[in-house]
Chain A
Amino acid sequence: MTATGEIDSLGPRIRAEVERAIQRNIKGLEYFTSPAPVLGATPKDVLYKRGTLNLYHYQPLSDEVYRVPLLMVMATTNRGYIFDLAPGQSLVEFLLKQGYDVYLIDWSPPRPDEKHLRLEDYTLEFIPDCVRRVREDSGEEQVTILGYCMGGVLSVIYAALHPDAPLKNLICFTTPIDWTHMGLFTKWAHRDFFDVDRLVDALGNVPSELIFTSFEMLRPATRSAGQIKLWENMWNDEFVKSHRMFERWSTDTLPLAGEYFRQIIKELMWRNGLFKNELTLGGKRADLGNIRAPVLHAVAEHDHIVPYDAAKPLVERVGSIDKQELILKGGHVSVVAGGNAVKRMWPKLDAWLGERSI
């Protein structure tokens, strides 16, 4: 481009930047005075509540549904509305419109008296009980389970402990199996440095602030950079809306039941029991080879929370013949929500699951 051309294009660009600067100030004020976005609004019914455990059934959005119901299991560290951010950006809404009968296990903060909850409670009690209730409510014998992150770990452990479970399909998103590859988490929680007994004995349930801070420390500059990008894009309503949704979810972490946390550290992190097929709960050994249902594992190429090396052994080690790993660009959350998920993961999930839900 010639110098004249550059000068000619400079005028409109400057005008655009001035306009954006004005909009930033106006909308910046609106940002602080407007109410928080409403998230997780797809209509659902409470099927069962028990302390930290909540089982929901979403109201159908299609005239007919697939035979096999789908039970989603959220991670115990965060809220389930990441699956249901907003109309048009909701995995739940997408699945309902595609004809799936969707249920969700979501977690409330464990009460002080729930500090005694263990992995056994989650995998030998909560999930089997919810599977039973889904079967009763739907009238179907088999259920597809979909677990995200730690929800995936619980789902995998459940499946590995119950080779005769009524499990039609197992879907996992960014689920760690080999905990020696959990990056900084492995380092910080090393048995040489981390006195998990002292922490749990003193506090009972592990506070949500500790969980939140440990996630933030993985990328300490990202929140500040995010604020800068927010200010730059304050004129862009779609950007601001998306930012607010993800910001709200990422800060809405949950405490973890004390004994459950202790076991995660000792049994999963230190002993790597799940990867080694040595995790024993309720007298039963969780053997990944026991899992024979079709398995789909969606992992993120640039996942800073569950690195690929931690997630990849799932498909390698399950006993299933029908199994597939889906590697997607992006990070831990973009596999599930956001533009990348809408365009890439969701259609692939539907294509895989649809033919296995009849």
Chain B
Amino acid sequence: MAEPSSKDPAAAWQDLVAQWERNLNALANRTMGSDEFSRSINQVISLSAGMHSSLGEVMGRYLASLNLPSRAEMTGIAERLQAIEERLDRIHALLQRSASVAEPDAAPTSTKPPRTKRPPG
């Protein structure tokens, strides 16, 4: 016969933790669902974003004075690299298609299973 959970201290503790979790989440959701909370948290986010932006500008000017590239300049270099990579991808794809046209009887690089599967029953 199963032991009643109220007489098992381990199960009682687990119930307590689960109840605490549920109650605290419910309380937090009620608090965080208020207009005041939404307004406050977004003010914090806006302030943080503003500070981040200002810091970025200050760092940019500092780096320029040291004749070092800024984040924006590095981003620009990354964009150009990305464009070069995409162009190389297109060239690679063209070369692969040309190779398969030139050697239509070449063995496939990997054996794929047949597409003959049907559901059971």
A residues lining the B interface (CB < 8 Å): 1, 6, 9, 13, 17, 50-51, 60, 62-67, 99, 101, 111-113, 138, 140, 184, 187-188, 190, 192-195, 198-199, 201-203, 210, 217-222, 224-225, 228-229, 232, 351, 354-355, 357-358
Contacts and interface: CB of A to CB of B under 8 A. Distances in A.
Interface residues of B, number: 46
A102 to B, nearest CB: 12
A193 B118 contact: no
B46 to A, nearest CB: 5
B82 A113 contact: yes
Contacts of B104: none
Given A1-B1, A66-B115, A358-B118, A13 B8 contact: yes
Contacts of B107: none
Interface of B: 1, 3, 7-8, 10, 13-14, 17-18, 20-21, 24-25, 28-29, 32-33, 35, 38-39, 41-42, 45-46, 49-50, 52-53, 71, 74-76, 78-79, 82, 86, 89, 112-120
B62 to A, nearest CB: 18
B46 A198 contact: yes
Contacts of B113: 60, 62-65
Closest 3 CB pairs of A and B: A354-B119, A221-B24, A202-B49
Given A64-B115, A220-B28, A188 B21 contact: no
7 contacts: A62-B117, A187-B33, A187-B38, A203-B52, A217-B32, A225-B20, A228-B17
A88 B29 CA distance: 36
B55 to A, nearest CB: 10
Nearest to A140: B115
A224 B76 CA distance: 43
B14 A232 contact: yes
B117 A65 contact: yes
A188 B119 contact: no
Contacts of B120: 354
A212 to B, nearest CB: 14
Contact of B24 (A17, A67, A220): A220
B78 A111 contact: yes
A59 B112 CA distance: 9
A202 B75 CA distance: 15
B45 A199 contact: yes
B52 A202 contact: yes
Nearest to A68: B115
A36 to B, nearest CB: 26
Contacts of A218: 29
Select the residue from A50, A62, A190, A193 with max chain B CB neighbours within 10 A: A193
Contact of B20 (A13, A101, A203, A221): A221
B87 to A, nearest CB: 12
B10 A17 contact: yes
B86 A50 contact: yes
A339 to B, nearest CB: 18
A25 B10 CA distance: 17
